[in-house]
Structure 1
Amino acid sequence: MLASKERTDTKRLPMMPIRDVVIFPHMMTPFVVGRESSVRALEEANATGKQIFLATQHDASIDEPRPDEIFTVGTVANIVQSLKQPDGNIKVLVEGVERGKVISVSDEDGFFRAVVKTSAFRIEGGPQLDALVSRVTTQFEQYVKLSQNLNYETMVAAIRPDDPGKLADTVGANLQLTIEEKQELLEIFDPIDRLTRVAEMLDIEIEKLQVDRTIQGRVKRQMERAQKEYYLNEKIKAIQKELGRGEKSEYDELKKKIETAGMPKDAFEKAMSELRRLENMPPMSAESTVSRNYLDWLLAVPWKKASKEIRDLNFAKDILESDHYGLDKIKERILEFLAVRRLVEKPKGSILCFVGPPGVGKTSLGMSIAKATGREFVRLSLGGVRDEAEIRGHRRTYIGALPGQLIQMMKKAGTKNPVIMLDEIDKMSMDFRGDPSAALLEVLDPAQNTSFQDHYLDVEYDLSNVLFIATANVLHTIPGPLQDRMEVIRLSGYTELEKLEIAKRFLVPKQLEGNGLKTDQIEFEDSGLLALINGYTREAGVRNLEREVGNVFRKVARSLVMSMPMDTPAEEEKPVKKSKSKKKAEIVDIASKEAVPAEARPEFKKATVTAENVHEFLGPEKYRDTVTERKNEIGSTTGLAWTEVGGSILTTEVSILEGRGKLTTTGKLGDVMQESAQAAMSYVRSRAHQLGLPRDFYRHIDIHVHVPEGAIPKDGPSAGITLATSISSALAKIPVRGDVAMTGEITLRGKVLPIGGLKEKLLAAHRFGITEAILPKDNEKDLVDIPDIVKKNMKLHFVAHMDEVLKLALESEPVGIPPHTIEYSAKPVEDIRH
């Protein structure tokens, strides 16, 4: 099997680059010519023998290729026909003659002219060639049978087994090959090598077609099964329509909604399974209603819809400043939180917990965060919740089962990344139905809430994109593990000047609008607001302040309405019908007249609320007796206390009675406070000589410690120095200064230990007009959290020992005196020595 060159010719022909096609010799190929250079080359070929050289360009997207962007091997072709079309293009039919290789290319008159070398081969036959030709012929017939794009009779008639070169070109031209593979065949000049390469390509293409036919067979069987199911479903629809059960288009809509809801794989499979069950149920059955409600809830929960989060810190800062006055450290912490979310591409959901007394703006801060971040805001009140199912939902086996409140809030928000306010998280409790705070452990853990499972939905739901914000008045009622999952931010309360600014900026405009008044009808002076703040409210927040401001506006609104003329029936569209009854006629006649003559109506004047006239609107002051008006008294000390609604003052009274050393405590004191009283008594006994008391003074007296407001439970160790001061004052008969308040825990040796809630206590002292405060030395570091106005208006003493407290709190320093000068009404008891 051998092929040898018989001759080599060189021709100079017009050259036309062609796109996305390789033209083989002996093939008739039509194509359209549109490029100006190609049209000129075609015209030149028609004028000079109708022969043209066609070569494929490397990149079909190039309009005007350079010679180096065209393959060097192409086909010399005869132009059989050329027809100019109305759009200016030319439709050409060419017949390939022989291969040619470009030797040189020149650009003449706007088209390429190439010098092409062609070669003719002489083939010597033999058994190997015959076997190769037979193999290719058989393979091609098999290929044509498998291919659906070729006509079997036409292709079998076109092949010429007697000419191996032409056979290779015919087969190669009709194979479904890429442009590069066809160009590879075209560049093989030796007919035997070309035929061998075609045989290899046929093997690969036949294998591909066999795989395709196998896959198509499977697809066809699946399609037949799907068509059968479709036919049966359509028949079921028709039967149910005849039965009056409605069309099944409802299920198609449900299926479409499930497919477009964006559910994760397990939820999607669960929904589709439930839909198939629903289709097979009678529509009027109770189970059908349960399944339909379940599917509605699955579709109502947002799976992929999310709010586009705003991460502009300047915008967030403006929102916080416009919505809240003061709270500088809180705002700073919120901005830091938002800054981190901007730097982290996919931040985990965070849980903030605002702790503080009522009315300081915890809930409104959450609303401002939602506004600043562009998220939806929903509020879930947990006060009084004592059923775990409120968080996790009920199983569908229960009648009237519903998802938990969290899933309901997600449905209400409509997005998967809202701000959810867990309000009053400290007010939850537990009973035999479970502990809801334990159910919240998973919800508020960023490492676990990616797969929160509601009992009703029974599929995992991702809560990691939710920004949870909890609010509480106290922390000690929140379980420790739940506290550990939240970042606690404390809101202590407002100073007098902060309340004034809040009233001017927010409360007065809000009440002005809410009561239908205008700025030219009422005016609040600063002195009036201060008088209202000090005389009618005494709280950490501003809720009562807003209420009292509203009371003033309502009284002004009443005066305004009393001065206005009454509306008459004559102004109505429908006139009042005259009644035949004389009594009714009189009523109509009276109604048609003004109830009060114009001259008798009071004249309305613009109301100006000042410190002098605020009592005309609100009556006598509620908190007239302030601490500053108190006198120095023996055995009476002002202490500072922390409560759930903020700081407060607490007066401690001590009386000395005849007795035998009994210590009595009243005022609903807790165990810790009673122990503080005993520790204070032990300290006083150890300091009997310094206080001028006999060593056995306690044997002849009873000491009664009382803390007023007995209906309110009181507990905690921070009243230790207050109790010791009152007992020392009562025994030494030295008055305690009325303008001094104190707080601190006491030990048996008189050391003063630090306490908590310092900021709340000092704010309360400032509200009550206290000018001096005695505080533990170890609490001096907490001054950084105290507002400047409090530190400026109050003199703060930091002490480490009870002896220092007595020097500061008592009107005069105790001086030790001989025991015999102390008189008791009780008879002395004999000293018992051990």
Structure 2
Amino acid sequence: MVNITRFFKGDDSDKAGHVLPLLPLRDIVIFPQMVAPLFVGRPKSVAALSKAMDTADKHIFLATQRSANVDNPTEKDIAVVGVIGTVLQLLRLPDGTVKALVEGQVRARVRRFIKTDELFQVALDPIEEVTASEPEAEALARSVKEGFEAYAKLNKNIAKDLVAKVAAITDPGRLSDAVASHFSFKIEDKQRLLEATPIERRLGLLVELINLEMEVFRMDQRIKVRVKEQMEKTQKNYYLNEQMRAIRKEMGAEDEAADELKELEKRIKRKRMPREAAAKARQEFKKLKLMTPMSAEATVVRNYIEWIIGLPWYERSRVRIDITDAERILEEDHYGLDKPKERILEYLAVQALVKKIRGPILCLVGPPGVGKTSLARSVARATGRRFIRLSLGGVRDEAEIRGHRRTYIGAMPGKIIQSLKKAGTNNPVFCLDEVDKMSMDFRGDPSAALLEVLDPEQNYAFNDHYLDLDYDLSEILFITTANTLPDIPLPLQDRMEIIRLPGYTEHEKFNIARAFLVPKQIKLNGLQPEQIAISDNAVYTVINRYTREAGVRNLERELAGIFRKVARHVVKTETDKVVRVTDSSVAKYLGPPRFRSSAIEEQDHVGMATGMAWTQVGGELLFVETLTMPGRGQVSVTGKLGDVMKESAQAAVSFVRSRAAQLGIDPRFYRKLDLHIHIPEGAIPKDGPSAGIAMCTSVVSALTKRAVRREVAMTGEITLRGRVLPIGGVKEKLLAAHRGGIKKIVLPKENEKDLRDIPASVAKQLEIVTVEHMDEVLPHALVLAEGERLFSDHDMPFDMSSANTGEKPEERAPIN
């Protein structure tokens, strides 16, 4: 152990501390017995070295700065524990700096700082080297030697003789200082080693730091080996590629890659593109020329350039603007659908005058099979445009619309850009089918991505994620189709012009079958027109007895079934005779009829009223049944109804209770009878605000024992006071009633405006009555004897004061 008493001699050293000049150190910690060269440039530090050289023992105190970035350190910036060192050599350089060689001697602690203008001086106290446990210190010293030896085997920069010198040190304190001076620990860790006492603690800390340093060194070596292997592999691939190119040249083969690049460059120059797209293509081509043809990155860049130059930036179809010819084509392809045809012809007329308008977004909403998609195809044919159809049913990834970013493997543009490249023009008729069937998940909301596509104020600069270029979609005539409007998000509805296709009448279905479906199926089934003759009555039989739908899709299937069996008969018998299909022979081909010619009951029933409902497949007849049973006034409503219809049933019962006296019903019926209201086909969900008056009529019929007219159908919502509120889907409901054989319709008064949309052929066969109050509905709906009146002349008008209990005013108890 070093004798430190010789460093603290003097008359007043014990009282005031041993005073020495201070040299603050940056980025280095000096340990005892450690020799280190220092380059000093700060004036105070040079003055401290000069003062030390003027003394006999040349001692100086060496302490490390807490932060190396401080140029003029104060007392707070300097560690209080350092070493007393000896200046072995001092050399002044021409630039004014000083090179000093110092050797650490013993540890010391600053008692106080003595600051002067020329230099720092410190009063020091000695730090005694203490060993608390000799066996523990010996064991830790052995671990330090083993760790240093293992580190020297990994790090080839440590000389073998240094390992031998360290192994020969027996003093634990000297060992720790010698080993610590040869490791590149952090400054903070070295300062901790310098300050650590007793020696066992210093040796333990040193063992931990040596193990950590060895682990970091091993990891660094592994990373270097891995990087070296990767570089060697890359260089090897490049060398082999260059060899293959040289071999191809020696064999006389043309450099196909160079020829392909030249051809691609010519295509880029010939392609007419916007300035931004052309600049992007040239920029990417420059990258491609610098890449190895076999690399994966070159394939990605080449595909991107192919997409840019393959798009129809300025290619347009010549649009025909002949209103007469367009009207003829629309009439040829579709029977009926007057409103959609009228809107399309209006668009063509405006385009003929303006030359260019931002394409409107038409949305055709209607049940399946009414011809929405085929109408869009006819628009393309009438205008001379290319036709593109994109089905959005089940699409739940936003990238299907906007494309994938090029950071993804296998990235591609969205379906909009892909379809335009396939069409080759930038002004096609673009049909977005089933826009109400989109959904969303963690990959995004495709309906939100469609907002930009279908907005005429935005789609002139549509930005696909893959292209990252603006593309003009304003020349496209977008037509979307949907079965139900509520399933389309409201922001998307706001960008479209809604055109409803409610369904076909029996007469329209017949004309469609004659003009379109029968010739089509004859051709598809390999028959000739002269081989089969189907009568008009047979077509009507198929319409009425084998189908019941708003569209004509099932009608086409049933006709196809007839023609398949006729085709089998022709092939089997090899006959040349004409096969005639009549209304009486339809059952031979299609089996027993699936439906009655009329959906209504064969006779009038008590408690059974006929309502009308709107569904996704068109209008439907809705039958409401009510039964009365002895009980305590409970009301049961069944038939898998939604909350709206259940509330309508409650409102209907409440209204009947309030009008019991006027209707000739015992005002206390609710105390002795239970009511069960049921809507058949219980497995089918039913909801909507249009069955209120049908439920009320059914309840009144059951309580008054008067039958409901079977040929009367009604629709409308009811309030507690008996007002009849307007409803939607009037055309679809009336067409369903007409198909079902209904003769008389009861509608809310406010729905009179919707009657102008009803086909004249249907309106002539229906007696339509409009009402404002439930009292007006019952005389039309209930079967009354000749001369019988439902309400007598002395019946009081509806009065809410007597309606709550059903009692006459004079029977009520006085109010206290």
TM-score range, shorter chain: 0.5 to 0.7
Aligned to 1:775: 747
Change in Cα spacing, 1:690 to 1:296, as seen in structure 2 (3 Å) is same
Aligned residues of 2:613 and 2:619 also touching (Cα < 8 A): yes
Is 2:529 the counterpart of 1:519?
yes
The separation in 2 between residues aligned to 1:263 and 1:671, in whole angstroms, is: 58
The separation in 2 between residues aligned to 1:238 and 1:541, in whole angstroms, is: 65
Which AA in structure 1 matches 2:397? D
CA RMSD, 1 decimal: 2.3
Change in Cα spacing, 1:357 to 1:673, as seen in structure 2 (3 Å) is same
Is 2:690 the counterpart of 1:711?
no
Aligned to 1:368: 378
Gaps of 5+ in 1: 1-234, 565-602, 818-830
1:606 shift after superposition = 2.2
Is 2:572 the counterpart of 1:636?
no
Aligned to 1:562: 572
Aligned residues of 1:732 and 1:814 also touching (Cα < 8 A): no
The structure 2 residue matched to 1:744, chosen from 716, 726, 745, is 716
Matched residue SS, 1:520: helix
The separation in 2 between residues aligned to 1:604 and 1:675, in whole angstroms, is: 64
The separation in 2 between residues aligned to 1:530 and 1:405, in whole angstroms, is: 43
1:242 shift after superposition = 3.6
The structure 2 residue matched to 1:609, chosen from 561, 581, 584, is 581
The separation in 2 between residues aligned to 1:659 and 1:625, in whole angstroms, is: 40
The separation in 2 between residues aligned to 1:399 and 1:740, in whole angstroms, is: 64
1:236 shift after superposition = 14
Is 2:263 the counterpart of 1:253?
yes
Change in Cα spacing, 1:660 to 1:604, as seen in structure 2 (3 Å) is farther
Is 2:501 the counterpart of 1:529?
no
The separation in 1 between residues aligned to 2:247 and 2:360, in whole angstroms, is: 52
The separation in 1 between residues aligned to 2:375 and 2:425, in whole angstroms, is: 21
Is 2:387 the counterpart of 1:415?
no
Moved more, 703-712 or 243-252: 243-252
Which AA in structure 2 matches 1:665? V
1:703 shift after superposition = 1.4
Aligned residues of 2:597 and 2:740 also touching (Cα < 8 A): no
1:665 shift after superposition = 1.3
Aligned residues of 1:378 and 1:420 also touching (Cα < 8 A): yes
Aligned to 1:269: 279
The structure 2 residue matched to 1:472, chosen from 452, 475, 482, is 482
> In the TM superposition, what whole-angstrom CA distance separates every residue of 1:291-312 from its partner, at most 9, and x where no partner exists?
1111122122211111011111
1:815 shift after superposition = 6.0
1:489 shift after superposition = 0.7
Which AA in structure 2 matches 1:525? S
Aligned residues of 1:305 and 1:416 also touching (Cα < 8 A): yes
Aligned to 1:401: 411
> In the TM superposition, what whole-angstrom CA distance separates every residue of 1:554-612 from its partner, at most 9, and x where no partner exists?
11111111113xxxxxxxxxxxxxxxxxxxxxxxxxxxxxxxxxxxxxx6742212222
Which AA in structure 2 matches 1:694? D
Aligned to 1:325: 335
Aligned to 1:726: 698
The separation in 2 between residues aligned to 1:395 and 1:511, in whole angstroms, is: 46
Is 2:330 the counterpart of 1:358?
no
Change in Cα spacing, 1:324 to 1:292, as seen in structure 2 (3 Å) is same
Aligned to 1:693: 665
The separation in 1 between residues aligned to 2:425 and 2:626, in whole angstroms, is: 61
Change in Cα spacing, 1:248 to 1:832, as seen in structure 2 (3 Å) is farther
> In the TM superposition, what whole-angstrom CA distance separates every residue of 1:216-235 from its partner, at most 9, and x where no partner exists?
xxxxxxxxxxxxxxxxxxx9
Aligned to 1:157: none
1:338 shift after superposition = 1.0
Change in Cα spacing, 1:240 to 1:499, as seen in structure 2 (3 Å) is farther
Alignment of 1:668-683 (within 5 A): 668-683=640-655
> In the TM superposition, what whole-angstrom CA distance separates every residue of 1:619-645 from its partner, at most 9, and x where no partner exists?
111102623453111111111111111
Aligned to 2:315: 305
Matched residue SS, 1:387: coil
The structure 2 residue matched to 1:346, chosen from 356, 363, 366, is 356
> In the TM superposition, what whole-angstrom CA distance separates every residue of 1:652-673 from its partner, at most 9, and x where no partner exists?
1111123322222111111111
The separation in 2 between residues aligned to 1:467 and 1:659, in whole angstroms, is: 64
Is 2:513 the counterpart of 1:503?
yes
Change in Cα spacing, 1:623 to 1:604, as seen in structure 2 (3 Å) is farther
Matched residue SS, 2:404: coil
Aligned residues of 1:394 and 1:456 also touching (Cα < 8 A): yes
The structure 1 residue matched to 2:436, chosen from 426, 436, 445, is 426
Aligned to 1:553: 563
Is 2:629 the counterpart of 1:619?
no
Moved more, 670-679 or 325-334: 325-334
1:499 shift after superposition = 0.8
1:518 shift after superposition = 1.6
The separation in 1 between residues aligned to 2:582 and 2:617, in whole angstroms, is: 29
The separation in 2 between residues aligned to 1:628 and 1:672, in whole angstroms, is: 25
The separation in 2 between residues aligned to 1:707 and 1:809, in whole angstroms, is: 18
Which AA in structure 2 matches 1:787? P
- Give the % identical residues: 60
Which AA in structure 2 matches 1:745? E
The structure 1 residue matched to 2:730, chosen from 745, 750, 758, is 758
Which AA in structure 2 matches 1:349? G
1:240 shift after superposition = 9.9
The separation in 1 between residues aligned to 2:509 and 2:243, in whole angstroms, is: 72
1:377 shift after superposition = 0.3
Is 2:326 the counterpart of 1:316?
yes
Which AA in structure 2 matches 1:767? R
The separation in 2 between residues aligned to 1:448 and 1:641, in whole angstroms, is: 39
The separation in 2 between residues aligned to 1:466 and 1:661, in whole angstroms, is: 63
Which AA in structure 1 matches 2:562? V
Is 2:454 the counterpart of 1:444?
yes
Aligned to 1:651: 623
Alignment of 1:4-403 (within 5 A): 242=249, 246-403=256-413
1:276 shift after superposition = 1.2
Gaps of 5+ in 2: 1-241, 794-810
1:441 shift after superposition = 0.4
1:239 shift after superposition = 6.9
Change in Cα spacing, 1:615 to 1:398, as seen in structure 2 (3 Å) is same
Aligned to 2:153: none
Matched residue SS, 1:394: coil
Aligned residues of 2:544 and 2:597 also touching (Cα < 8 A): no
The separation in 1 between residues aligned to 2:346 and 2:628, in whole angstroms, is: 56
Aligned residues of 1:691 and 1:816 also touching (Cα < 8 A): no
Normalised TM-score (structure 1) = 0.64
Matched residue SS, 1:655: strand
The separation in 2 between residues aligned to 1:668 and 1:832, in whole angstroms, is: 40
Is 2:494 the counterpart of 1:484?
yes
Aligned to 2:124: none
Aligned length: 551
Aligned residues of 1:627 and 1:738 also touching (Cα < 8 A): no
Which AA in structure 1 matches 2:765? N
Matched residue SS, 2:473: coil
Matched residue SS, 1:421: strand
The separation in 2 between residues aligned to 1:260 and 1:681, in whole angstroms, is: 78
1:237 shift after superposition = 14
Which AA in structure 1 matches 2:780? L
The separation in 2 between residues aligned to 1:324 and 1:775, in whole angstroms, is: 31
Aligned residues of 1:420 and 1:466 also touching (Cα < 8 A): yes
1:241 shift after superposition = 6.2
